[in-house]
Amino acid sequence: MSQAAAQAQAGNTGAPAPAAGSASSAAPAIPQAPVILLRRPPDWAEHEKPALPGSPAMPYHHPWVRLCYGLIAVLIALTGGLGNALFSANLPTIQGQMGLTATEAAWLSGAYVMFNMTANLLVYKFRQQFGMRLFAEIGLGAYAMLCLLHLVLGGYDSLILLRAGSGLAAATCSSLSTLYMLQAAPRSYVLKMLVLGVGVGQLATPLAWIISPGLLYNSDWQNLYLFEAGLALLSFAAVVTLKLPPGMYIQAFEKLDFLTFCLMVPGLGLLIAVLVQGYSLWWLDSPRLAWMLVGAIVLLSVALYIEHHRRHPMLHTRWFAQMPTIRFVLGAVLLRFLTTEQTYGMVGLMRSLGMTPDQMHPLFGVILGGTLVGVVLSAITFGVPQMGRQILAAIALFATAAFLDLHRTSLDRPADFFCSQFLLAVGAGIFMGSLMLTGIIQGLKHGPNHMLTAIVTISMTQAMGGLLGSALLSTYQTHRQQVYSVALVAQIDPSDPVVAERLKLQNQIYGKVTVDPGMRVNQGTLQLSQLVRREASVRAYNDVFALTAAIALLYLLWSLGASARVRQAAAMLRAMTRQSSDQAAVAAATDGTPQREDAQESAAEPAAPADGSKAAVPQRPA
């Protein structure tokens, strides 16, 4: 996905060049590695040349061929997104059917994120040296084989391998679908096609919730993996049948790249394990989490140290220390964090109230429509000058949606979330293209050798933002639920007439079930405690919505302040440029030698002759 964004930005002739003053704040220049062509490139026309090595060329296609490229792009994007989306939507069902604990279920999510994130370290250089189609065939083929293997074995080990393969396929499909979408229109529409290519993958999550009830008819979980295998095989056949145009292939890999990769993969894996297991094992109660965090810090520190001192690094560590990069990373993580108000907050509240996927079917239909509206609006209005405005609009929509979800009760149902979740889905559909192109521009300011660093940064901010959002919000919700539960239990006094009447009613419910009075009292008390936990959970989710609303509002104010400072600096620069132009014009008018006023006046009057006669006044020509 990010690699295609790099091609779109580099190939967009209308993109503005970096400001001249930006060179002073740039990282120290790092020499580029010598370019070694592995294949003789075809004789392209100027408008057909690929923007970057490894990117496909942009030749002319007939309209029906462009349509086929667009349809294949949609298929590939949905293949990459639906695998994890179907698993997340049906996780309680899968967990119950396989008898998995919460810790074992968390490892499944961690395997997907780890392989999805680390695959982006390989895919950029792999496509530069071997081409994107080969990587796509490997990823999609392995994904399809693992789906079929899990259908045969049906065990926990095969399911972990399948989740890892799904992460690898998602990293492949996100880039490949955008490259196919760029071929679906002329080069003048490259930025709009970039937004569409990125946005189609966002439709997978609501679509998975819509189709899940039909796939799990009669609780037949094998249908999920048959569907995944079918999508992977269809995408594999489409990629082989209609190939991308050839590109320029260069020698990209170095020996130290594999050492960095071998350090980064386990380091990121341990960090992801801490985030996905922290909620289940609880952060401060498990020494295993501390040791995993220590291992992650050591491995990642060694990898970054090696990269910092390389002549041709894969990751440019100096770029991360610049203030624009720090602001971009924080903003990207916060944007993904705010979207978890939907995937964790709303979904978690509905599940705690007993709502099943088929009951949430209309709600996710609204979310699907909102995401589609956001993607289309972003594509229509997309451009380099509009990127900041689109991100501000997305943040404002996130804040509005969170404020609308405040003060929820146990009587709320999916229909009560239609308005807020539609706004949140529109914001999620708007910001992704602008965020990606912003990161690519930040990297291209320092040269093409920073491209892989920018790609990995975008991938990590989105993955880590989602993990941090789920981990922090779930921790906060659990803490607030315990606080509210203790407070509500403290208010229940059996001597209170209202409480006594409620306990009596609860006992009468079980009168036809058991004749034992003691058991009826115990069951009534247990039922009342379940109601207390439900109300405490609803109040805790309201606090989650309040927290996300506050973060979104503060982020919006910070972004508006930064935008105002940028506009003020631009106005000052224009004023200084105008003043310099005026001074240059005055200097040119005086031939570069300014004179004093008295000297000019004396020069303007003719000098008196030495003999005292009047000076001859020059006559004005007729």
Task: Please report, rounded to a whole number, the percentage of residues in the chain having pLDDT higher than 90.
Answer: 1
Would you state the pLDDT for residue 382? Answer: 78
**pLDDT beyond 80 at 88:** yes
**Per-residue confidence at 32, pLDDT binned at 50, 70, 90?**
low
Burial of 302 (0-12, 13-18, 19+ CB in 10 A): middle
Closest CA to 135 of 173, 101, 186, 79: 173
Angle, CA of 56, 59 and 64, to the nearest 5°: 105
Between residues 154 and 552, the one the model is more confident about = 552
Would you state the pLDDT for residue 19? Answer: 36
Tokens of 16: 């503005």
Mean pLDDT of the chain: 77
- The amino acid occupying position 357 is P
- Tell me the average pLDDT across 451-472: 81
Would you state the pLDDT for residue 617? Answer: 43
**pLDDT beyond 80 at 38:** no
**pLDDT beyond 70 at 381:** yes
Residue ranges of the chain that CATH labels 1.20.1250.20: 1-8+47-254, 314-582
Give one DSSP letter per residue of 481-529, joined into a string: HHHHHHHHHHH--TTSHHHHHHHHHHHHHTTTT---HHHHHHHHHHHHH
In whole angstroms, give the CA distance from residue 237 to residue 68. 13
Note the helical H segments in 344-450. 347-352, 361-381, 387-404, 418-444
- Tell me the average pLDDT across 31-43: 60
Separation of first and last alpha carbons in the chain: 77
Tell me, letter by letter, the H, E, C secondary structure of 86-109: HHHHCHHHHHHHHCCCHHHHHHHH
Would you state the pLDDT for residue 524? Answer: 65
Fold for the domain defined by 1-8+47-254: Growth Hormone; Chain: A; (1.20.1250)
Between residues 170 and 618, the one the model is more confident about = 170
In whole angstroms, give the CA distance from residue 10 to residue 455. 14
Would you state the pLDDT for residue 422? Answer: 92
CB 315 within 8 A of CB 121: no
CB 170 within 8 A of CB 58: no
**pLDDT beyond 50 at 620:** no
**pLDDT beyond 50 at 14:** no
**Per-residue confidence at 525, pLDDT binned at 50, 70, 90?**
low
**Per-residue confidence at 607, pLDDT binned at 50, 70, 90?**
very low
Note the helical H segments in 36-101. 63-89, 91-98
- Tell me the average pLDDT across 122-137: 78
Instruction: With residue 588 as reference, give the H or E element that holds it.
Output: helix 517-589
- Tell me the average pLDDT across 216-237: 80
**Per-residue confidence at 513, pLDDT binned at 50, 70, 90?**
low
pLDDT tens, residue by residue, 150-177:
878 777 888 888 888 888 888 888 888 8
- Tell me the average pLDDT across 200-222: 80
pLDDT tens, residue by residue, 562-595:
777 777 777 787 778 777 776 776 676 665 444 4
- Tell me the average pLDDT across 97-115: 81
Tokens of 193: 């096609």
In whole angstroms, give the CA distance from residue 42 to residue 46. 12
**pLDDT beyond 80 at 515:** no
pLDDT tens, residue by residue, 264-293:
888 888 888 888 888 777 878 778 888 888
Closest CA to 502 of 532, 534, 535: 532
Would you state the pLDDT for residue 213? Answer: 79
**Per-residue confidence at 600, pLDDT binned at 50, 70, 90?**
very low
As a CATH number, domain 314-582 is 1.20.1250.20
In whole angstroms, give the CA distance from residue 405 to residue 205. 21
- Tell me the average pLDDT across 383-403: 84
- Tell me the average pLDDT across 305-331: 82
Tokens of 474: 């779930």
- Tell me the average pLDDT across 35-57: 67
Would you state the pLDDT for residue 8? Answer: 52
Cβ atoms within 10 Å of 405's Cβ, excluding its own? 27
